[in-house]
């Protein structure tokens, strides 16, 4: 069993090759990241060099994992997110931003020629990419209020606007930028090189969550992009929303992994810490909290596994992924708070681990659609009434 929170034995559904690969991932994280983790977190340093280590593991494209196509099985990919989040969600974002977010946009949004041009080079980090949708003035309402513009100019486009919060931006060679076509008013997506004229970046510092992730504002000042770099299968925000809804299953796996890590750290601590002459894990009130954490983590994992199976079967709807995101992030928030609580004062120290999980749950709660926005998507699906104001 890879994790004590896998009470129902979902890892038993993995093949030997998949399990071995995940064991390699865990070993690499312990060896290459554990010793400096607290220091990176405290100083907000991004361990960008881990991209090469992770790529060398061939988590995405080892022939032993491929399932008759060019991708491994979704269950394995889910557990790959789980293991990364269980260790550290900043490192999970460094890797997942590339192989899940950026890669999915290219694979689902790109034309056949574009997929052939870019996709094979993404798992190796031959170049790094990220997704730039959010704007300073528009987060939750960006779908209807996008202000970044794309103006047709001969055989290309000119893009002007500003993006905010873009994860991994400072490490990226290209950004997938969403902009509104000034002619038809529809959202389109462009692969913009970092070094194009008119592109500049401003790092966002002072975050309390995902401190190791380089988030940035991207300023686009009349940036010229070729028509061949416009993602060919994205013609409106509806296409982008469909990709984002599909990607939301990742948040379920991240929430499961984050809770597993927090629970395991809390269990270790409560078994080793003695008060009143016995380990605090032996007190009834502490055990109630451990049981609640374990229940949350176990149920979140079950939901992530089932959502992944529905996606595989082609029967997952927006309701499933929105409910998973909003519920799982809510459970994660409770689990990490309980984990921090049972660790007492040690629980607010950076190198106690639970402090990191505690802070990172806040990012999980907000990105991939906030708790409220995903609740509104669920509400619309179950009532038939949209509570969005537009
Ligand atoms: C660590 C991190 C990484 C991120 N990475 C990326 C990235 O790579 N690319 C990218 O494009 N974006 C990214 N984002 C941005 C993220 O998607 C947005 O933060 C998110 O969509 C929310 O937008 P906002 O922060 O502007 O909040 P706002 O939209 O301003 O919302 C503020 C609050 O108001 C609530 N609210 C808004 N509208 C309603 C409503 N109708 N009813 C009830 N409540 C409402 C929200 O739920 C929230 O609680 C990232 C964010 C974080 C924190």
Q: What is the CATH number of the domain that holds 176?
A: 2.40.110.10
CA of 360 to the centre of ligand 1 (A): 15
CA of 140 to the centre of ligand 1 (A): 5
CA of 60 to the centre of ligand 1 (A): 29
- Position 3 confidence tier, pLDDT thresholds 50, 70, 90: confident
pLDDT reading at 389 higher than 90: no
CATH number at residue 72: 1.10.540.10
- Position 168 confidence tier, pLDDT thresholds 50, 70, 90: very high
CB 243 within 8 A of CB 65: no
pLDDT reading at 302 higher than 90: yes
Q: Report which protein residue has its CA nearest ligand 1's atom 27.
A: 139
Mean local confidence (pLDDT), 219-237:
97
- Position 350 confidence tier, pLDDT thresholds 50, 70, 90: confident
Q: Report which protein residue has its CA nearest ligand 1's atom 35.
A: 372
Mean local confidence (pLDDT), 270-276:
98
Atom of ligand 1 nearest to the CA of 163: 11
Model pLDDT for residues 231-244, shown as the tens digit of each residue: 999 999 999 999 99
Q: Which percentage of the chain shows pLDDT scores above 70?
A: 99
Which of 74, 97, 121 represents a domain boundary (last residue)? 121
Count of other CB atoms within 10 angstroms of residue 126: 11
CB 248 within 8 A of CB 325: yes
Q: Which of 160, 340, 321, 167 is nearest to 263 (CA)?
A: 340
Model pLDDT for residues 49-81, shown as the tens digit of each residue: 999 999 999 999 999 999 788 999 999 999 999
Atom of ligand 1 nearest to the CA of 167: 8
- Do 260 and 347 lie in one domain? The reply is yes
For residue 28, give its domain range.
10-121
User: What pLDDT was estimated at residue 352?
Assistant: 86
Axis crossing angle, helix 237-247 with helix 249-272, rounded to the nearest 10: 30
- Position 374 confidence tier, pLDDT thresholds 50, 70, 90: very high
Instruction: Give the mutation target among 133, 139, 187, 326 for probing the ligand 1 site: most ligand atoms within 8 A of CB.
Output: 139
Angle among Cα 352, 203, 87 to the nearest 5 degrees reads: 30
Which of 121, 153, 171 represents a domain boundary (last residue)? 121
CA of 43 to the centre of ligand 1 (A): 25
Mean local confidence (pLDDT), 32-60:
97
CATH number at residue 287: 1.20.140.10
Atom of ligand 1 nearest to the CA of 215: 3
Rounded to two decimals, the pTM is 0.97
Is position 3 within any domain?
no
- Position 2 confidence tier, pLDDT thresholds 50, 70, 90: low
- Position 390 confidence tier, pLDDT thresholds 50, 70, 90: low
CA of 208 to the centre of ligand 1 (A): 16
Return the exposure string of 37-71: e unless at least 16 CB atoms fall within 10 Å of the residue's CB, then b.
bbebbeebebbeebbeebbeeebbbbeebeeeeeb
Binding-site residues, ligand 1, Cβ < 6 A:
130-134, 139-140, 165-167, 210, 215, 363, 366-367, 370, 372-373
Atom of ligand 1 nearest to the CA of 132: 11
Whole-number average pLDDT of the chain: 96
Atom of ligand 1 nearest to the CA of 97: 8
Count of other CB atoms within 10 angstroms of residue 337: 17
Note the maximum CA span of the chain.
78
Is position 4 within any domain?
no
Q: Which of 191, 201, 195, 129 is nearest to 165 (CA)?
A: 201
Whole-angstrom distance, CA of residue 182 vs CA of residue 159? 10
Q: What are the two backbone dihedrals, phi and then psi, of residue 178, each rounded to the nearest 5 degrees?
A: -95, 125
Angle among Cα 306, 309, 313 to the nearest 5 degrees reads: 140
Model pLDDT for residues 332-343, shown as the tens digit of each residue: 999 999 999 999
- Do 136 and 103 lie in one domain? The reply is no
């Amino acid at each position: 069993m890879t994790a004590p929170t896998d009470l129902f034995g979902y890892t038993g559904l993995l093949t030997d090759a998949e399990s071995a690969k995940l064991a390699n991932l865990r070993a690499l994280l312990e060896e290459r990241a554990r010793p400096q983790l607290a220091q990176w977190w405290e100083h907000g340093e991004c361990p960008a060099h881990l991209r090469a280590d992770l790529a060398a593991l061939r988590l995405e494209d080892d022939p032993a994992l491929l399932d008759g196509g060019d991708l491994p099985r979704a269950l394995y990919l889910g557990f790959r997110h789980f293991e990364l989040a269980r260790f550290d969600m900043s490192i999970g974002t460094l890797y997942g931003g590339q192989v899940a977010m950026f890669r999915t946009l290219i694979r689902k949004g790109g034309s056949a020629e574009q997929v052939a041009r870019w996709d094979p080079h993404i798992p190796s980090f031959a170049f790094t990419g990220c997704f730039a949708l959010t704007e300073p003035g528009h987060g939750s309402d960006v779908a209807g209020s996008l202000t970044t513009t794309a103006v047709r100019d001969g055989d290309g486009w000119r893009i002007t606007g500003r993006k905010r919060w873009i994860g991994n931006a400072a490490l990226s060679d290209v950004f997938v930028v969403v902009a509104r076509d000034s002619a038809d008013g529809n959202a389109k997506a462009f692969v913009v090189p970092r070094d194009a004229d008119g592109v500049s970046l401003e790092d966002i510092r002072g975050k309390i969550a995902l401190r190791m992730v380089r988030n940035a504002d991207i300023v686009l000042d009349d940036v010229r992009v070729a028509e061949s770099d416009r993602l060919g299968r994205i013609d409106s925000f509806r296409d982008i929303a469909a990709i984002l809804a599909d990607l939301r299953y990742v948040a379920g796996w991240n929430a499961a992994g984050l809770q597993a890590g927090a629970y395991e750290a809390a269990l270790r601590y409560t078994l080793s810490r003695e008060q009143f002459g016995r380990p605090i894990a032996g007190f009834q009130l502490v055990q109630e909290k451990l049981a609640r954490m374990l229940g949350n983590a176990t149920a979140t994992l079950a939901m992530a596994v089932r959502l992944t199976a529905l996606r595989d079967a082609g029967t997952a709807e927006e309701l499933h992924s929105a409910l998973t995101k909003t519920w799982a992030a809510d459970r994660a928030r409770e689990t990490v708070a309980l984990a921090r609580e049972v660790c007492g004062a040690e629980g607010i120290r950076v190198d106690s681990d639970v402090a990191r999980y505690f802070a990172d749950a806040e990012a999980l709660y907000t990105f991939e659609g906030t708790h409220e926005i995903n609740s509104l998507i669920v509400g619309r699906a179950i009532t038939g009434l949209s509570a969005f104001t537009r």
